[in-house]
A and B are shown apart, each in its own frame.
Chain A
């Protein structure tokens, strides 16, 4: 009994310690990022990496998700003669839920892992030490631009994913299921409200923060050579994916 309690206590204390370390790391990075000098080239590079280069993967995911959503909705709704609701279901599902969550998970794999690997490699090859000796704060130079890019680029990507996903649903509904294009389009826009889109974008900004924080934190604290970098990459992807799903519930409850 005592052994079990002490084990639980140890895990809990370690969890609190990790949370404290992460909070300090992020606070310091944000404070550093707010103070000049600002590294605009680093920021632009991150906007490019996270935003533009993630477009294909996010676009493809959204497109096929929209198509599948239309097909699956049709299967269910046709049993109740409610096929007319497909357009609104696709639009609402994409904007409120699937757009931000799927884009978040895809970006977590693509960007979170890459960030942890890049910063982790810099750690084990003494590049972070080199930055310090070159009078440059690594948190200001490396972390702050990534956090900013994550928070701003994810909503933009999700906005594009929403449009592409709805378009995927339209393609299937019109060309495979035989819906009237004008009626389908009208039904899409009749039911969708600005709040549906903005709630998804708010979620996306949070997910962007989660992905970049996890990638940067695990990479920055990696140690032990190639194995350590590999471990940091795994931790970054797994922790950000889980946190996205957990945060998604609480954000949905808040924005419902």
Chain B
């Protein structure tokens, strides 16, 4: 990146504990405006917890999180609601609403938060569905009637429906076959590029991380142990990173034998 980089998110010394389980143990991280940052790490290292802390869904125990230079850990519920207006989230299991049709899921924020006319909102929802390769017919189905891969696409369409400037992706390709994973990675990459958004992706799929990320950070033991350009990850000399990206069973990373860390 040659342009002057401003910070979208600045995380300093984040701690989060659930009873006796220390999940985040002093996380420091800087996310620049317009970049796509991927956070990698094994199962149960606290990646999703970190994401939820950034979204304000889980309060942190200690530390500071700034978004656009404003501290967000002390924000009121109204400020929180306003902040989320410019954020799109794709959840791990898609988290589509079963009681609504596919297009209503995509148009949810337009109708319920922005109070847009349903006809106009449906038009936009169908455009977004088309952008992720789904037809108008799919829009009329319920989420239970479509495959897991299609549900991910719908979740992506819902995340980008209001053209937010910040996008979060939680394990976007987990449980998908390699072809569907590639499709989702490509869609995410294109969407982020077209919107010019700042994107944070949580994954343990290295293929996904390399494809989506400008930078990659690795979370282990509740800390960011490495952060650098995506193309540099293969040459980094951190033994934890090397063990993780090559999927070696032996190395410095200890497999969980107790419940000290959670997802």
Complex: how many Å from CA A39 to CA B112? Answer: 8
Judged by a CB distance under 8 angstroms, whether A125 is at the interface is yes
Q: Which of B3-11, B65-73, B88-96 contacts A (4 or more CB under 8 A)?
A: B88-96
Choice from A45, A126, A141 contacting B95 with Cβ under 8 Å: A126
**Residues on B with beta carbons closer than 8 Å to the beta carbon of A39:** 112
Contact with B along A113-143 (1 / 0, CB 8 A): 0000000001001110110111111000100
**Residues on A with beta carbons closer than 8 Å to the beta carbon of B88:** 133
Choice from B93, B99, B113 contacting A135 with Cβ under 8 Å: B113
Contact with A along B134-165 (1 / 0, CB 8 A): 00000000000000000000000010000000
- Contact between A135 and B95, CB atoms less than 8 A apart: no
- Contact between B91 and A134, CB atoms less than 8 A apart: no
Q: Which residue of A lies closest to B56 (CB)?
A: A132
Q: Which of B79-87, B192-200, B210-218, B233-241 contacts A (4 or more CB under 8 A)?
A: B79-87
Complex: how many Å from CA A43 to CA B87? Answer: 28
How many pairs of A and B residues are in contact by the CB < 8 Å rule?
A: 51
Q: Which 5 A-B pairs have the closest CB atoms?
A: A135-B113, A130-B95, A126-B95, A133-B89, A134-B109
Judged by a CB distance under 8 angstroms, whether A56 is at the interface is no
- Contact between A141 and B112, CB atoms less than 8 A apart: yes
**Residues on A with beta carbons closer than 8 Å to the beta carbon of B81:** 135, 137
- Contact between B84 and A127, CB atoms less than 8 A apart: no
Judged by a CB distance under 8 angstroms, whether B250 is at the interface is no
Contact with A along B94-113 (1 / 0, CB 8 A): 01110100000000110011
**Residues on A with beta carbons closer than 8 Å to the beta carbon of B55:** 129, 132-133
- Contact between B112 and A125, CB atoms less than 8 A apart: no
- Contact between A129 and B97, CB atoms less than 8 A apart: no
- Contact between A37 and B112, CB atoms less than 8 A apart: yes
- Contact between B91 and A135, CB atoms less than 8 A apart: no
Complex: how many Å from CA A108 to CA B141? Answer: 31
Judged by a CB distance under 8 angstroms, whether B52 is at the interface is yes
Q: Which of A69-128 contact B (CB under 8 A)?
A: 122, 125-127
**Residues on B with beta carbons closer than 8 Å to the beta carbon of A45:** 99
Interface size on B, residues (CB 8 A): 22
A residues with CB within 8 A of B: 37, 39, 45, 122, 125-127, 129-130, 132-137, 141
Judged by a CB distance under 8 angstroms, whether B130 is at the interface is no
- Contact between A126 and B92, CB atoms less than 8 A apart: yes
- Contact between A126 and B85, CB atoms less than 8 A apart: no
- Contact between B57 and A135, CB atoms less than 8 A apart: no
Q: A133-B87, A136-B108 are in contact. Are A126 and B93 (CB under 8 A)?
A: yes
Q: A127-B97, A141-B112 are in contact. Are A132 and B84 (CB under 8 A)?
A: yes
Given contacts A126-B91, A132-B55, A133-B89, 7 further A-B contacts (CB under 8 A): A122-B97, A130-B89, A130-B91, A133-B87, A134-B113, A135-B84, A136-B109
11 pairs across A/B with beta carbons < 8 Å?
Answer: A37-B112, A126-B93, A129-B55, A129-B57, A130-B89, A130-B97, A132-B57, A133-B84, A134-B84, A135-B84, A136-B109
